[in-house]
Amino acid sequence: MSITAETRNEIINVIKKTLKKYSPPMIAKSSSMAHDYELIGNKPVPYGSTKKIIPGMFFAAIANRKDSVTFHFFPCYMNTEMLESAPNLAKKLKGKTCFHFRKVEDVNEKELNTLLKKGVIAWKKMGYMK
């Protein structure tokens, strides 16, 4: 079952509005091949087995999919306890870092904001942000 373009845009706008609160300090990127909007850390860091320096560690993104809008949130991969502060959002989690939304009311802005705050704290603690 697909979602309407109007619903899709509303979901994207709600998530994007919340993500924009964190840029700065995060660095925002728009319309990459995989994501419609993306945030990365603000500090170049080594990544992968080769320790190649990348401009910033991936933090969060919004993607438009065939049957939903997805929100990817990488900090919860490293700390699943973060999800305890967002029980309604956790119900939309598929896999370890990908939340799928089909209705605007499924995006709990208060929980999303709490999750993002905890993610910023984690990114600073791990050295991915200045």
Please give the pLDDT value at position 34. Answer: 57
Candidates 3.90.930, 3.60.90, 1.10.10, 3.90.1150; CATH matching 5-125? 3.90.1150
Confidence of residue 32 (pLDDT cuts 50, 70, 90): low
Q: What is the DSSP string of the chain?
A: ----HHHHHHHHHHHHHHHHTTTTTSEEEE--SS-SEEEE-SS-EEETTTTEEESS-EEEEEEE-SS-EEEEETHHHH-GGGGGG-HHHHTTEETTTEEEESSGGG--HHHHHHHHHHHHHHHHHTTS--
Residue 116 has pLDDT above 90, yes or no: yes
Average pLDDT over residues 105-116: 95
Please give the pLDDT value at position 100. Answer: 95
Kindly report, residue by residue over 8-28, the tens digit of the pLDDT. 999 999 999 999 999 998 999
Confidence of residue 65 (pLDDT cuts 50, 70, 90): confident
Domain ranges in the chain are: 5-125
